[in-house]
Chains A and B, each alone.
Chain A
């Protein structure tokens, strides 16, 4: 069996500082998304369960200049090889463009029996890649699975639906997206990190998968992604630390937050 795991690498969210409501991305390293590690782990567990299975990681560089290093983590977890789509035109692409690029890359890899996505990316979390790629490749898709099994050429997936569990079955090939509760991603061991450097990594441009910049040009523009600004009370309390504390407590009592 062949499993393709498309993963996203995103700027290390813990390293981003916000200044004047803008994230400072300069010098922030990229990491494989936390949620993407769940999808890699899911594929590796299927590999162990089914046997004779190849796990292929696929990603879009999206401005990550050290993408090969970043992807080593996926290889160190246990993926057998990695493909990287690296093209400046993809940095500005929207979900439609990226999904198209991923679908074309999957075709060029030669397709797969199963394509495992994370439920969404760890940074933007639009959750569109799984369904979009399934549609482009005309494959059945199951979203938000929290358990996967493959047996007798069939995929069985469980989805948590509040107070009940839905069990779905699909023929292969198929696309599935998995939630973070599906597993606890493994931490690569020293030996596996050492081996990861020797695993094959292939870099493609858009041209290599039969696309050009126009094909992935964004069809929509993000005007703003800021949270609504709320009107605050703007009460400034001045004085020494003790005076400020006393005044703050008084103000909170007046507003009914604290009891007198």
Chain B
């Protein structure tokens, strides 16, 4: 059996980051990707937070083909009769170094795979890894079709479904109950149109999240990210809510309804649909992280359950890059010490000692918190009611501002349920 230093299963951000780190230090590394090219099958909503990962491979992030730096944040509470939008702009976000960028994975991942190859790593596409080769509980390589290749270390970054690692018993079969599905359209719009619709300076970008009517009360929300000359427009929806919903709503109609919503339609008007895509997202948070390593292998990226939905930010790609980076780092350090079995514990320690696992731990109560459907119905509606009352002027004598606002606030927020939920907020 042919043997190499490292095999990386999967050409997403975690796998590419691992392969890049290993190849940079001269290890013989093979990355195996199922798609036609790295990025061909990879999907993101749209935004990569670069700040947390900037010090890992800084040369990459300076040159990477990002779409636009996000300099403006929009959050819209969308109801059937009204919409309240918060627009936030900050000089801090509009200046270098930018905190986050919108990205298209077909472009970004392909470019990263080229950087891996430039460092001497081998990226093999169009090949499916069928299983991990095990010997006495140790992962010793992979099998793809009839070919078997051995490796001292196998980094499994095969994505959220983790078919190969689950089959090998390295992690539990993921339950649909703690996953969401994200589906989106990439819609082409001229650059000037994007910049005028989201009040952007040339080249700068916006992130626009939507809550409320978008998911018809189900866990999730809408998102819109501005790329160079397209927008990524979609919905993230909790599978449990979608599946257990009494009226068995057709999920795909949600996106059409969202797009046709009177307060959303003008944002996407005139756009040409370029492509659809969808992706499964772990909503389990901290509780969904499996054992990160074992004999001969490390898990990284979505396969390691590294995704975080905090409603106002959705993160996954920065975790993927960081896990790939640390997987490579731990492997290299262990190899230098002459004991590769040290890589696993080192990897876990690096992940636990840094923001990677800490951020997930901090946010561990969020999955429970956002199970509450009132977040997606009652609260957006309440805010809408306040503003509707505030801005309404009729031929009746008007109330004082205080009464207008407090009337709604009392009605919608001063009640036992809300107080109880507020207590819950303190945990997140």
Q: Do A and B bind each other?
A: yes
The reply to whether B147 and A191 contact each other, CB–CB distance below 8 Å, is yes
Known A-B contacts A17-B274, A197-B122; A190 and B107 likewise in contact (beta carbons under 8 Å): no
Binary contact readout A60-88 vs B (1 if CB under 8 angstroms, 0 otherwise): 00000000000000000000000000000
Asked whether B145 is an interface residue with its Cβ less than 8 Å from the other chain, the reply is yes
Binary contact readout B113-156 vs A (1 if CB under 8 angstroms, 0 otherwise): 00000000010101100000000000000001111010000000
The reply to whether B30 and A194 contact each other, CB–CB distance below 8 Å, is yes
The reply to whether A190 and B274 contact each other, CB–CB distance below 8 Å, is no
- Measured CB to CB, the nearest residue on chain A to B107 is A27
CA distance A187 to B144 in the complex (A): 13
Known A-B contacts A17-B274, A27-B107, A29-B37; A193 and B146 likewise in contact (beta carbons under 8 Å): no
Contact residues in A for B274 (Cβ distance below 8 Å): 17
Contact residues in A for B32 (Cβ distance below 8 Å): 190
Known A-B contacts A27-B107, A29-B37; A193 and B127 likewise in contact (beta carbons under 8 Å): yes
The reply to whether B145 and A189 contact each other, CB–CB distance below 8 Å, is yes
Contact residues in A for B122 (Cβ distance below 8 Å): 194, 197
Binary contact readout B404-416 vs A (1 if CB under 8 angstroms, 0 otherwise): 0000000000000
A 155-204 contacts with B by CB, 8 A: 187-191, 193-194, 197
Least CB distance from B255 to A in Å reads 16
- Measured CB to CB, the nearest residue on chain B to A188 is B126
B 269-307 contacts with A by CB, 8 A: 274
Contact residues in A for B126 (Cβ distance below 8 Å): 187-188
Contact residues in B for A17 (Cβ distance below 8 Å): 274
| Residue tally, chain A, CB below 8 Å to B | 11
Size band of the interface chain B makes with A: 10 to 19
Asked whether B2 is an interface residue with its Cβ less than 8 Å from the other chain, the reply is yes
The reply to whether B147 and A189 contact each other, CB–CB distance below 8 Å, is yes
CA distance A106 to B263 in the complex (A): 65
The reply to whether A190 and B37 contact each other, CB–CB distance below 8 Å, is no
Interface centre among A188, A193, A197 (most CB of B within 10 A): A193
CA distance A29 to B111 in the complex (A): 12
Contact residues in A for B149 (Cβ distance below 8 Å): 190-191, 194
- Measured CB to CB, the nearest residue on chain B to A191 is B147
- Measured CB to CB, the nearest residue on chain B to A17 is B274
CA distance A142 to B2 in the complex (A): 42
CA distance A97 to B122 in the complex (A): 36
The reply to whether B145 and A194 contact each other, CB–CB distance below 8 Å, is no
B 369-394 contacts with A by CB, 8 A: none
7 tightest A-B CB contacts, nearest first: A190-B147, A190-B144, A191-B147, A193-B124, A190-B127, A189-B147, A189-B145
Given A17-B274, A190-B32, A190-B145, 8 additional A-B pairs, CB 8 A: A29-B37, A189-B144, A189-B145, A189-B147, A190-B147, A191-B2, A193-B127, A194-B122
Sampled A-B contacts (22; CB under 8 Å): A17-B274, A27-B107, A187-B126, A189-B146, A189-B147, A190-B32, A190-B124, A190-B127, A190-B144, A190-B145, A190-B149, A191-B2, A191-B147, A191-B149, A193-B124, A193-B127, A194-B2, A194-B30, A194-B122, A194-B124, A194-B149, A197-B122
